[in-house]
Structure 1
């Protein structure tokens, strides 16, 4: 039986640092624009593949009975217990020499996130959470987020690069959100965006067609910081099925959800 505790988090963080060091050794060593297009506007490199190999080996050694769902390898499904991993969230950023990319490791029990680690190799920042035990940044407990209005909030989003059917919806929505918030950002790493909402650096976020491995780690971190999340109309978000994801600090989330739900 797996034990979710600080010792486990420390082991996972060490795995992230090892993979992150590998990524940083090769960061900006080539001209922008390299990598392979595995589908339209969705890129991969040997950095992604090797990082996942390293993480998979370590995580399955830590918990052999768990399944493994990574972006770059065939899924080993185990609904009872499953690692969900994005070895390089923000690949396009990485391949362009833009430093906003992360390693995202989540653990799900019966399909629900119970542990999350989001690590940013460029800065060494590490966001962690265990369900019911709080969330931490670099080992320091993060507080529950206080309520604030949307008009004072900085909102992040993601472009619909893999969702051509939602392009018009997105831009109409963004126009409305922009009228009602302080400003909008598009950093390019969903896992980092969500960790930053939990930390309070961003105050809201929405995106379409996020993948399970983009959000699995950060969902636990958001919950432990008191940040609600859902799909449209406040309905519970299923990370394996739903297309639209909305979150924010209290107050911002409710206003943002109301606006976004009008457009999709």
Structure 2
């Protein structure tokens, strides 16, 4: 178990790293016409801002914990036998490149297959989420409450569209119909790191998506665990972001309804 001194030191380094990335991102935000950036493939984009942000983050994290491996979106994806930094320097790149202000920096420290520290920063307004295993989750320094039961009719549910998941479109829209029939409404914001942070905070009450990447959710998963939210893959297995394609989460009362909806439409897709 990490002692309090080590936890504070590493969380401090994580915050410095995230703010260093934000200092690169904000001066370039909304300075160009929408649609700039380079295509990594048919559905993902990258810019020099992503690359420079990850470099800045890595310099600070490597200095804080030289023995840790590094699993980042843009530069290196190495899982070590011990501690591993899992980093998305700019989650919501498409939003960023379009001038939509919903994007984040996500940093997590994983050990033995589990997140032990997590941090998500929204650069535009400075909203900061942190969590440590067994130490709770916080938003702007205030402890987040444990999730309580909610009737599904009151739930606002987040999701992500299947832009990189060909063949799942019918299941996605079928699930959307089911969720709209059972819950209050659906939101698709374009940053899973922020969506999971907002779920942990109580601003969303459920979430599902297919083909998330480990760096999208590595920090947010710890926030969900520390606030009593359930999460699984669609087959009902304990979710592993390095192995599974599918993800569903929610607070008690909502989680069960979402699990039924995704299973009915997607089947037991892992």
TM-score (norm 2): 0.95
CA contact (8 A) 1:150 1:256 kept: no
Distance in 1 (alpha carbons) for counterparts of 2:132 and 2:256: 25
Alignment partner, residue 49 of structure 1: 51
Q: Which residue of 2 aligns with 1:98?
A: 100
Provide the rounded CA distance (Å) in 2 between the counterparts of 1:242 and 1:82: 19
**Structure 1 16/209 Cα, relative in aligned 2: closer, same or farther at 3 Å?**
same
Could you tell me which runs of 5 or more consecutive residues in structure 2 were left unpaired when the two chains were aligned: none
Alignment of 1:244 onto 2:246: yes
Deviation at 1:149? Answer: 1.5
- Tell me the equivalent position of 1:172: 174
- Match of 1:161? 163
* Cα distance in 1 between the residues matched to 2:38 and 2:225: 35
Q: Which moved more, 1:92-101 or 1:225-234?
A: 225-234
When structure 1 is superposed on structure 2, of 99-108 and 231-240 the one drifting more is 231-240
SS across alignment from 2:200? helix
Q: Secondary structure at the match of 1:49?
A: helix
Find 1:234's aligned residue among 230, 233, 236.
236
Partners of 1:243 and 1:154 lie apart in 2 by 23
Gaps of 5+ in 1: none
Is the Cα–Cα contact under 8 Å of residues 17 and 58 in structure 2 kept in the other structure? Answer: no
Distance in 2, Cα, partners of 1:178 & 1:200:
19
Taking a change above 3 Å as real, the CA distance of residues 132 and 153 of structure 1, as seen in their structure-2 partners, is: same
Q: Which moved more, 1:94-103 or 1:251-260?
A: 251-260
Q: Distance in 2 between matches of 1:223 and 1:88?
A: 23
Maintained 8 Å contact 1:79/1:111: no
Tell me how far 1:77 sits from its aligned partner. 2.7
From 61, 64, 67, give the equivalent of 2:66: 64
**Of 195-204 and 170-179, the range deviating more from structure 2:** 170-179
2:16–2:60 contact (8 Å) kept in structure 1: no
The match for 1:261 is: 263
Q: Please, which moves more after superposition, 10-19 or 53-62?
A: 10-19
Instruction: State the partner residue of 1:113.
Output: 115
Structure 1 vs Structure 2 CA RMSD? 1.3
Counterpart of 1:25? 27
2:237 is aligned with 1:221: no
| Alignment size in residue pairs | 264
Please state whether the residue corresponding to 1:232 is helix, strand or coil: coil
Q: Which runs of 4+ in 1 moved over 3 A?
A: 1-4
How far, CA to CA, are the matches of 2:80 and 2:227 in structure 1?
28
What displacement does 1:8 show? Answer: 2.1
C-alpha displacement of 1:2? 6.7
Answer yes or no: is the 8 Å Cα contact 2:152–2:182 preserved in 1. yes
- Alignment-derived partner of residue 190 in structure 1: 192
Shift of 1:254: 1.3
Asked if the contact 1:2–1:63 (Cα under 8 Å) also holds between the matched residues in 2, the reply is no
1:77-129 deviation per Cα after TM superposition (whole angstroms, max 9, x unaligned): 30321000000000000000000000000111012111110110011011000
SS at match of 2:89: strand
SS at match of 1:83: strand
